[in-house]
Structures are given as structure tokens and as C-alpha cells.
Structure 1
Amino acid sequence: MGRLNPILVWSLCLSLCLFLCPTSAQLKTNFYANVCPNVENIVKNVVTQKFQQTFVTVPATIRLFFHDCFVQGCDASVIVASTGNNKAEKDHPDNLSLAGDGFDTVIKAKAAVDAVPQCKNKVSCADILALATRDVIVLSGGPSYAVELGRLDGLSSSSKNVDGNLPQPTFNLNQLNSMFASHGLSQADMVALSAAHTVGFSHCNKFSNRIYSFSPGTQWTPV
């Protein structure tokens, strides 16, 4: 793992900001000014402590945010646990590789926010995840940016909603462009978000078939 390239980080920030743009008039930078004015500092302190414990906090949080936003929007539904009657998003095969440090970051930040009497039960996990993503980008060498707040946490989370909504390692360029375009993202956004994996890791089963089925006669490399 290494630090993010500044140009890549800036592109990544622009891409993530598209997720953060208001979808209604309720989103604004000072959303919690009257109920929890110090929320950004509280979250930042927790994220910084987590980052100091392990750099995995960076890719884990970015990827968690990405997987959350691509399924039903940025509503933190990817964090919801399954029950006996419902298999949640986090237990879908495409989400099983999400690193625990991303979930842990949001859980600890939420606990720290709720520990402040004025803030208790006032700040959504969705907003905390959005803030934490910005904070890990800054901590890894990228620029800071304003995060508009006011997201509501998802009331439901189903593994079925993940089907067909996350890019697959088998997708060709047209399929990738189409999926990202459906979220208002360009090919440049897609490249920046995909390249965020350079600060994390990929599981072998996601690309091993390209290595072992590769023929020297093909016109492109396997990975």
C-alpha cells in the first residue's frame, strides 16, 4: 500500500462529490449547526485515531461508501445487519470482501457523536460515512472538500437490492461505462473510483481466472 497520487485523489474527490451533491433542498453544509455544531470535528478525531491504528481505514472507508451509494443511494443501508428474516446488503457476496475497518470507523464515530448529549440520535450514519470518507482522503494525502449533510439512514436493507448494482470484475468497458453513467458519473469518474483500489487490495478470486486462463497469444494482458 502507498499514498494516493495527488492527481488521482483530486479526481476521486470530484467523483465522490457527485455522490454528495444535493438530491433535495435539505442537504447543506451547516445542516447540524443547531443540534450538533461540532459533528465534523468529532468524526474527524475518531477517523484520525482509526487511521493511526491502521492505514486500511482509508481503502475500507472509501470502498464502503462506494458500495453504499451504488445501491439505493448514500443511506448507510450497507451497514445494517441481517436478521433471521432478512439477508441484508452487507451479506451479499459482492459485499463480503468489504473490510471491517470501514464499518468499525462509522460505528465508532457514531458512538462518539451520540456520546455528546446535544448530538445524541441527531446525526445519521449516512452523513457520518460521507464525512469519514472525506476525512480518510485528506489523511491519505488528498485535498479537503465541503460535505453537504442531511441524509437519512435507509429504513431497509436487502441483499436482493445489490444484484446488478455493483460493477463486476468481468465487466467490459461498455458495461462499466453504462453502469457508472446510470449514476451520473463519467468514464473519468469511473477510472478515478476504480483506481482507489490502489490503496487497498483485491481478493484473488476476483482476478485469478485472468491469470490462469491467460494465453500468450491474446492481445491484452490478463490483469
Structure 2
Amino acid sequence: MGMMRVLFMSMVLINVGGQLVENFYSSTCPHVEAMVKQAVSMKFIKTNITLPATLRLFFHDCFIEGCDASIIIQSTTNDAEKDFPVNLSLAGDGFDTVIKAKEAVEAVCPGIVSCADIQAIAARDVLVLAGGPSFTVELGRRDGLISNKY
């Protein structure tokens, strides 16, 4: 699990074109991390594949176009990132964890928190639930608008 932690933590620190900061949503959605943690915890309790699926989703998203949640985009005009064969297995639990967290956040803070930030928080939270270290996730990522399979 040591190598997985190093890879994950390096992805969390990737800057995708803006300044990432602690407490990015402190005035616009102050409880975002607690809401994501609650949603991730509920999913983690239900199934033992939440940990690997959520981490893998984050990993695959970050290594294509940066940590922009473009892996979640459903395209109607082309094959999206999520349609790439190695990502098809993420369609269940990996996507579901982030989608549940996004729904919880949207219910309280509609249109404010990016899926990319929710995905980063969820990946950290699932790692902590599995007994890994806790750390601050700097926020301020922007969601991608385009997703391509290649």
C-alpha cells in the first residue's frame, strides 16, 4: 500500500491550471468535506470495492488530462474517457461513490463545488477509512468540459 499512497498523494498535489488552496470553499460551501466524507463512509460500509474503485477512478482521471473529473463526463458525440476499455470496470462502484458525494453536496451547495474536487476529497477519505493517513486536500480544481477516449 506504500507505493499506492505515494502515487495518490502526488496526484492530489497536481495543479491543473489554477491555484489550489486549503479552505477554497470556506465561504461558499463550508461543510463540503464533511458532506463528502459522510457519502464516502456510507458507500465504504456497503461494499469492499469502494476503496480500490475510488482510488482507481481518481488515478485514471488524473493521468489523462489532469485531475479534472473528465472521466465522469458522458459524451454524446464521441467515445468518452469512461468508454475506454480499461475504464469500463469503474462504471459501478468508482463512479457511484463520487456521484453519491456530488449529489449530497449539490443538495446543499448547488453549482459551487467541482466534481474534480469532490473526487479528490473522496479519494482521500476512502484511503483514511481503510486505515491510511489523513492529509489536507487543497481545492480549487475546475471540471473538464471535454472527454476523449484517447
Tell me if both proteins adopt one fold, taking TM over 0.5 as the criterion: yes
The CA distance in 1 between the partners of 2:18 and 2:142, in whole Å, is 13
Q: In structure 1, give the amino acid aligned to 2:32.
A: V
Q: Percent identity?
A: 59
Asked whether the equivalents of residues 22 and 28 of structure 1 are also in contact (C-alpha less than 8 Å), the reply is: no
2:12 maps to 20
Give the 3-state SS of the residue equivalent to 1:71 in structure 2: helix
- Within a 5 Å distance, the mapping from 1:105-144 to structure 2 comes to 105-116=97-108, 119-144=109-134
The CA distance in 2 between the partners of 1:97 and 1:106, in whole Å, is 15
Asked whether the equivalents of residues 60 and 99 of structure 1 are also in contact (C-alpha less than 8 Å), the reply is: no
TM-score, structure 2 as length reference: 0.93
Asked whether the equivalents of residues 82 and 91 of structure 1 are also in contact (C-alpha less than 8 Å), the reply is: no
Alignment deviations for residues 70-129 of structure 1 (CA, whole Å, 9 cap, x no partner): 10001000111131x21101001121122511101111111100111xx21100000001
1:58 aligns with 2:12: no
When residues 68 and 22 of structure 1 are mapped into structure 2, their CA distance, relative to the original with a 3 A threshold, is closer
Q: In structure 1, give the amino acid aligned to 2:110.
A: K
2:81 maps to 89
Q: In structure 1, give the amino acid aligned to 2:139.
A: L
1:30 aligns with 2:23: yes
Asked whether the equivalents of residues 65 and 133 of structure 1 are also in contact (C-alpha less than 8 Å), the reply is: yes
The CA distance in 2 between the partners of 1:35 and 1:124, in whole Å, is 12
The CA distance in 2 between the partners of 1:157 and 1:52, in whole Å, is 31
Give the 3-state SS of the residue equivalent to 1:45 in structure 2: helix
Asked whether the equivalents of residues 14 and 67 of structure 2 are also in contact (C-alpha less than 8 Å), the reply is: no
TM-score, structure 1 as length reference: 0.64
Tell me the C-alpha RMSD between the 2 structures: 1.4
Asked whether the equivalents of residues 79 and 148 of structure 2 are also in contact (C-alpha less than 8 Å), the reply is: yes
The CA distance in 1 between the partners of 2:4 and 2:30, in whole Å, is 27
Return 5+ residue gaps in structure 2 as ranges.
none
Give the 3-state SS of the residue equivalent to 2:64 in structure 1: coil
1:44 maps to 37
Return 5+ residue gaps in structure 1 as ranges.
1-7, 161-223
Q: Which of the two has higher C-alpha Rg?
A: 1
Q: In structure 2, give the amino acid aligned to 1:155.
A: L
Greater length-normalized contact order (CA 8 Å, ≥ 6 residues apart): 2
**Runs (4+) off by over 6 Å:** none
Instruction: Point out the structure with the larger helix share.
Output: 2
When residues 60 and 22 of structure 1 are mapped into structure 2, their CA distance, relative to the original with a 3 A threshold, is closer
The CA distance in 2 between the partners of 1:22 and 1:54, in whole Å, is 29
The CA distance in 1 between the partners of 2:149 and 2:125, in whole Å, is 28
